[in-house]
Amino acid sequence: MTKIPSLHPINRAWLLDGPLSPQVPAYISRLKRGRYAATTAGRYLAAVAHFAHWMSMSHMPVHVLDDDCIDFFLRFHLACCDCPSPALRTPRDLHAALVALLAILRERHVIAELASPAGPIADELRRYDAHMHDARGLATGTRRGRLRIIERLLLSKFTGRSVLIGKLLPKDVRHFIVAQTESRNTTSNAITIASALRAYLRYRASCGDAVQPLLAVISSPAHWSLASLPRSLKPEELERLLNSFTAALPSPRRGYAVVRLALDLGLRSIEINRLQLDDIDWRMGTVTLKRTKSRRQDILPLPTATGKALEAYVRHERPQTSNRSLFVRRHAPYDQPIGVDAIRRVVRDAYARVGIAHGRTHALRHTLACQLVERGSSIKEVADVLRHRSLNTSLIYAKLDQGALVGVALPWPGSLA
């Protein structure tokens, strides 16, 4: 503990004399492995000390700790906390520190591991997940989102019982949809729920269940395919965006390289996040994409501007680390890749700096596609560059080719044309 000089004596006493004292050495070792700064380590230890003090006051043994205990501490204790002044009360630091504490307790078998799903519902979800993976080729995130919705549906009807879809009535599905949309009443949520339910019921139909009455009660808000225009950046917006990565930013070269990958190659955020140093062939000028959305390996040419941006980041800004991920963390815990949310945040922050009213990195993919159409590329070529599995996905860009559309447009009734 003497290696954390910023720790207040009262916090130190809470740690060493409280119920978490046997776990303190393991927690400090975790902080050292992550190469946390001394000030950050001090805040995290102060957070654990505050939690240990609350446990002592509540007479709570260590073996009962779980996520609900942390949630109760953050939501209810902090609201009326009257612990002595050294107690850390910053929710963000407390949450991060206590999540790490639970991980250590599980590693050391002090508390139980997160329970794996069990029972008939869990078995049904595993079978459906295997179907989505093997037969449909859906990405992990898509499968996870659908499983959450289907799990709630099955729990509402079959808790503690075998899953018999024949026992599921149209009114059950209708009431479930109403309950789910009331909790988050947005068009996108309604579309997501309806799509997940239809996909699951079609899977059950392939298993021999009669699901037509259930499918009949599932409706979605009106949403016409290809009804809108793709939201792309204008040339002047694009210039401002690329020029916004100045030396005043914490990681300008990393941010610039991320934007160039999305803009020049049309990479998705998750594809940028998964890039490894070994995926770049500097001699041949190519980038290899592995584990893509289409579940295949793609080799793309590396444009000169993109290659220079990546070189500048790797040579002058990428932290020293043994991790082979292209983009790695600048702050503790070190030696880890940055998350996909960090990739998206880089682009969103750049939008905000230059006053562009966009919130998604996907706008850069749209911008690339629009540039290709303006230069005379066909929709098939756009689909190839964006790596769309279906040509229908790329048809939205056909509406950008105004010259071709003029040739097929009919005259307005009553006009001279």
Q: pLDDT digits over 326-343, tens only?
A: 999 988 888 899 988 899
Q: What pLDDT shows up at residue 138?
A: 85
In the CATH hierarchy, which fold is given to the domain comprising 235-403?
hpI Integrase; Chain A (1.10.443)
Q: What pLDDT shows up at residue 384?
A: 80
Determine contact, residues 42/332, Cβ cutoff 8 Å.
Answer: no
Burial class of residue 101 (count of CB atoms within 10 Å of its CB; 0-12, 13-18, 19+): buried
- Range of weakest confidence among 87-101, 151-165, 173-187, 222-236: 222-236
Q: What pLDDT shows up at residue 358?
A: 72
Q: Would you say residue 205 has pLDDT above 80? A: yes
Q: Do domains 119-216 and 235-403 have the same CATH topology?
A: no
Average pLDDT score over residue span 317-331: 92
Q: Would you say residue 227 has pLDDT above 60? A: no
pLDDT tens, position by position, 111-154: 987 655 668 899 999 999 999 999 888 878 789 889 999 999 99
Q: Would you say residue 176 has pLDDT above 50? A: yes
Q: Would you say residue 323 has pLDDT above 90? A: yes
Q: Taking the domains of the chain in order of start, what are their residue ranges?
A: 9-107, 119-216, 235-403
Q: What is the pTM of this model?
A: 0.66
Q: What pLDDT shows up at residue 2?
A: 41
Average pLDDT score over residue span 294-308: 86
Q: Would you say residue 357 has pLDDT above 90? A: no
pLDDT tens, position by position, 38-83: 888 999 999 999 999 999 999 999 999 988 899 889 988 988 899 9
pLDDT band at 416 (very low <50, low <70, confident <90, very high): low
pLDDT tens, position by position, 265-293: 989 898 999 999 999 999 999 999 986 66
| CB atoms closer than 10 angstroms to residue 214 | 22
Q: Would you say residue 224 has pLDDT above 90? A: no
Q: What pLDDT shows up at residue 104?
A: 94
Q: What pLDDT shows up at residue 119?
A: 84
Q: Would you say residue 353 has pLDDT above 60? A: yes
Q: Would you say residue 247 has pLDDT above 80? A: yes
Distances (CA, A) of 283 to 140, 286, 287, 301, 308: 33, 8, 11, 11, 13
Average pLDDT score over residue span 369-374: 82
Q: What percent of the chain has pLDDT over 70?
A: 86
Question: Average pLDDT over the chain, rounded to whole?
Answer: 86
In the CATH hierarchy, which fold is given to the domain comprising 119-216?
DNA polymerase; domain 1 (1.10.150)
List beta partners, residue 167: none
pLDDT band at 215 (very low <50, low <70, confident <90, very high): very high
Contacts 24+ apart (CB under 8 A), 110-119: 110/23, 110/62, 110/63, 111/62, 111/63, 111/64, 111/65, 111/66, 119/160
Average pLDDT score over residue span 218-232: 68
Q: Would you say residue 1 has pLDDT above 50? A: no
DSSP 99-124: HHHHHHHHHTTSSPPPPPP-HHHHHH
Q: What percent of the chain has pLDDT over 90?
A: 53
Average pLDDT score over residue span 295-315: 91
